[in-house]
Amino acid sequence: MNCKRSAVRRIHRVALFVPVVVLAASSAVYSQVPKAEDIAACNAEAERAVRAKTPSGDSAQPNAKDQHRAAQARRPEATTQSAGSGVTSDDPQLAGMSIEGAKDPAYQAAYRTCMRKAGF
């Protein structure tokens, strides 16, 4: 009888401990925010990629959302919300991207790929 109570207590402790560990681990994984250096490096990499204009298997290809966002950014009445010196976006991997770069879907794709490689 005493052994059963001890086993039940251990199960309860594990049942309480596991969710705490899972929540702590998930918040640590998703709490990264790019620093100014990360943003500057990805803007520079995206600019180089666009200037090179050499599509390869490793280069980022713009998707339909990139095309749409770039078209919106090029509109004369576009109200580009800026965060410091970069744009804000519905895609968190595009936050901080150059305002001029936002007008080019290839730039957006290269910037997003750089941010993804950097862990964001």
Residue given tokens 């950097």 in the structure block: 118
**Model confidence pTM above 0.75:** no
CB burial of residue 106 (10 Å; 0-12, 13-18, 19+) = buried
Asked if 117 contacts 111 with a C-beta cutoff of 8 angstroms, the reply is no
Residue given tokens 């039940």 in the structure block: 8
* Tens digit of each residue's pLDDT (9 = 90 or more) over 6-37: 777 777 676 666 666 666 555 555 558 899 99
Q: Give the chain's end-to-end CA distance (angstroms, integer).
A: 52
The domains of the chain are located at 1-31, 36-117
Q: In the predicted model, what is the mean pLDDT of residues 60-85?
A: 76
